[in-house]
A = this chain, B = another copy of it.
Amino acid sequence: MIPVNKMITSRSTKKDNTVVDLGSCRIGDGSLTIIAGPCAVESLDQMIYLARLLKKMGVAIIRGGAFKPRTSPYSFQGLGEEGLKILSAASAETGLPFVTEATDSRSLEIACRYADVIQIGSRNMQNFSLLREAGKSKKPVLLKRGFSSTLEEWIMAAEYIASEGNQKIIFCERGIRTFENYTRNTMDISAIPAIKELSHFPVVADPSHGTGRRSLVGPLSRASVAAGADGLMLEVHENPPEALSDGPQSLYPAELEALLPSLKALHGACDVA
């Protein structure tokens, strides 16, 4: 069912893992890359504060949303280009690269001017025009799985990017929609090793959206690492109950700080294994 030969993204086409190199860090080389930050950028002070904390904790990449796809047109839609300027300032302050979402050709064009990695979100996984433009941009692309997409469709979405000459692709599993409602989504941890069987690009996991519950982010982070993830993307907020978006799934900084060493230990144990 999964087409294996001829496709640029296919493991059968290229046996070796592809490493996405951001200069200050490399994703897919066997290391564990931590991406963290707030769901949405809210202010300069917030981002500078968080970025410094994250830097100290050993986080490799900052995340933050400036163009937010929201179910309702009346929800907070992000700060737009202003948010990207804030992210750039936080990045300059800490030396950490940052990833941010683009939702259409306009925001992609703007994001490419500021960001180190472009995120294509779950709802846009089959926005084929956007995929092609992300491909043309030549920027590293973090491609989230559509919340009801098959592995085959996900790889085909990556193929849209790759077919435009861009092989800096990072898959990101963020949970699928099922009947269960204790969690926001159901993380498909099997997607991590399955994608690595089928493709040579790195895979990271997003347990924040994947579970939607702060208390489950730690266990699912550990599970993702043990399943072979090349990295994790985690939401953290200085005051989750006041977050403009996704508070219930955002870690407190102290929780993230406590979690990271356990992930490193686990990653080490997997290496030995």
- Partner-B contacts on A (CB < 8 A): 1-3, 69-74, 103-107, 123-124, 126-130, 132, 147-148, 150-153, 156, 159-160, 163, 176-183, 186-190, 192-194, 197, 210-211, 215-216, 219-220, 222-228, 261-263, 265-266, 268-270, 272-273
Contacts and interface: CB of A to CB of B under 8 A. Distances in A.
A128 B261 contact: no
Given A104-B129, A222-B270, A226-B266, A190 B211 contact: yes
Nearest to A68: B128
A148 B147 contact: yes
A258 B216 CA distance: 30
Contacts of A132: 73
Contact of A128 (B3, B69, B148): B69
A262 to B, nearest CB: 3
Contacts of A178: 176, 178-179, 186, 188
A103 B129 CA distance: 8
Contacts of A211: 190
A160 B182 CA distance: 21
Contacts of A180: 150-151, 176, 188
Contacts of A107: 129
Contacts of A103: 127-129
* A-B CB proximity, top 4 nearest: A262-B273, A148-B148, A269-B269, A226-B226
Contacts of A194: 182-183, 216
Given A127-B123, A130-B104, A148-B148, A186 B188 contact: yes
Contacts of A183: 190, 194
Nearest to A106: B129
A182 B150 contact: yes
Contacts of A272: 262, 265
Nearest to A182: B151
23 contacts: A2-B182, A71-B126, A72-B159, A73-B132, A103-B128, A104-B104, A106-B129, A123-B126, A151-B180, A186-B186, A186-B190, A187-B190, A189-B189, A190-B210, A219-B227, A220-B227, A222-B270, A223-B223, A223-B224, A262-B273, A263-B273, A265-B273, A266-B266
Contact of A1 (B147, B153, B181): B181
